Amino acid sequence: MSKAAPASRPQRKNEGTKKGATSSQPTAPGPSAAVMPTYARQDLVFERGEGSWLVSTTGERYLDFASGVAVNALGHAHPRLVAALSAQAAKLWHTSNLYRVAGQEALAERLVESTFADRVFFCNSGAEACEGAIKAARRYQFVSGRPERWRIVTFKGAFHGRTLATLAAGGNEKYLEGFGPPVAGFDQIAYGDHAALEAVIGSETAAILIEPVQGEGGVRALPDPCLRGIRELCDRHGLLLVLDEVQCGMGRTGKLLAHEWAGVAPDIVAVAKGIGGGFPLGAVLATAEAAKGMTAGTHGSTFGGNPLATAVGSAVLDAILEPGFLDRVLVKSSQLRQGLEGLKDRHPGVVEEVRGRGLLTGLKLRASLAAADVVRAASQSEHLLLVGAGDNVVRVLPPLNVEDGEISDALARLSRVLASAAKSAG
Ligand SMILES: *Cc1c(COP(=O)(O)O)cnc(C)c1O
């Protein structure tokens, strides 16, 4: 195979001479065909960010209430995160897990101090954290002399990631299609259906895996008594309670971890997204008992918890655990909630329900209006960034340190979007 000679700017394979080229405009190249088109992306490129704002390559400012899908917990270019990353970048990036990693030990100690957990395994993403949580749960039953217990109960509308096991756990037919037989061992029931849950537990059940607030599935918060009931069921049947807090954890609901609202103690929790503030980082948190099968050689990750990632993770955690930070998240979330309820009252023809907890909020739209269209219109006509979700929900996910004025600004923009959408929806 021969490569074209370098041009004055990188040649795009979808322009110019190639068959199938649609545009050869040099000033505004379209998306590169070199990137596998697994995302239906908005045609927007950002150059920099500051706090709750993103600036596009064309110089336009966008109010970011998508937060990179609940990842940029402290907004963009937070001075403390920039300082932590830069300082670490000048010293040491990566050593592998063949050696002790000081930053990993420091972050693990801090997580253990401030959560239910005694042990932490670091990885790079939410799917990897969920995968690790599933493995730890199966392994726990195995080393406890119950190797026949390997099945895990999951819930409709769940999202646990895009690896083969987490896809099977999520059970979304659309995502599973064409990828071969789903990984075995997941029994799915309706979210919050306690009777179905009791019925599905059998002699092979190892654990129950649930998101305290479903994110991708449509921002559905599990009522606290439900989570307490699930804990009791786990205790009665010798099962582990495994929570996926990849989206709802790390301060998003106003508590460091969302299950704290229900006052239950889980056995294993997967976190990611917000914990790295934008740097890829995930973690499996577990009690000493639940982690007892995860001995040397049972699991691993080359990059997991490397010095760069854990330096940033520690800076994020420091900020979230600073006195008053989570209280402010709660104040902001009630301001946002009230505003969203107001939008529902003003636009009853298009908004059906306000959902969520803390700053993990969403608007469930009526069938006459598609969430994806509202997300696109908000971005195009109001420069407000939002995220779609299942069940025709628009997610509203500001950074946790969003300014009060930015919340009212976003609500005003969203109100105009809904008003014109209501008009065109008739
Ligand atoms: C995003 C998400 C995942 C997957 O995380 P990735 O980092 O994309 O692998 C898993 N669970 C939940 C609840 C999520 O929101």
pLDDT over threshold 60, residue 185: yes
Domains recognised in the chain with CATH numbers: 46-70+324-425 (3.90.1150.10), 79-320 (3.40.640.10)
Phi, psi dihedrals of residue 42, rounded to the nearest 5°? -70, 145
Buried/exposed 79-105: b ≥16 CB within 10 Å, e otherwise: eebeebbeebeeeeeeeeeeeebebbe
Structure tokens given for 305: 């918890």
Share above pLDDT 70 across residues of the chain, in percent, rounded to a whole number? 93
pLDDT tens sequence across 91-105: 999 999 999 999 999
Tens digits of per-residue pLDDT, 395-404?
999 999 999 9
CA-derived radius of gyration, the chain: 22
**Does the C-beta of 159 come closer than 6 Å to ligand 1?**
yes
Which is the closest atom of ligand 1 to the Cα of 125? 7
Residue 146: pLDDT above 80? yes
Question: What is the longest distance spanned by two Cα atoms in the chain?
Answer: 68
Q: Which residues are catalytic?
A: 159, 244, 273
As a whole number, mean pLDDT of residues 406-418 equals 98
* pLDDT of 4 over the 70 cut: no
Q: Which of 129-138, 190-199, 241-250, 405-414 bottoms out in mean pLDDT, i.e. has the lowest?
A: 190-199
Angle between helices 307-321 and 325-346 (to 10 degrees): 80
Expressed in angstroms and rounded, the spacing between residue 181 Cα and the centre of ligand 1 is: 22
Q: Model confidence over 40-96: pLDDT tens digits?
A: 999 999 999 999 999 999 999 999 999 999 999 999 999 999 999 999 999 999 999
The string of pLDDT tens digits covering residues 274-299 is: 999 999 999 999 999 999 999 999 99
Let me know: does 364 contact 355? Beta carbons within 8 Å. Answer: yes
pLDDT > 90 fraction of the chain, expressed in percent and rounded = 91
Identify which of 153, 147, 371, 112 has the alpha carbon closest to the alpha carbon of residue 244: 153
- The pLDDT value recorded for residue 28 is 54
Pair of tokens at residue 33:
């065909």
Q: Can you tell me which atom of ligand 1 is nearest the CA of 280? A: 7
C-alpha of residue 46 to centroid of ligand 1, in Å: 23
Overall pTM > 0.75? yes
Look up residue 12 and give its two tokens.
């795009």
pLDDT in tens, 298-342: 999 999 999 999 999 999 999 999 999 999 999 999 999 999 999
- Flag whether pLDDT at 218 surpasses 70: yes
Mutate to test the pocket of ligand 1, among 160, 162, 248 (most ligand atoms within 8 A of CB): 160
155 ligand 1 Cβ < 6 A = no
pLDDT of 38 reads: 96
What is the model's pLDDT at position 426?
61
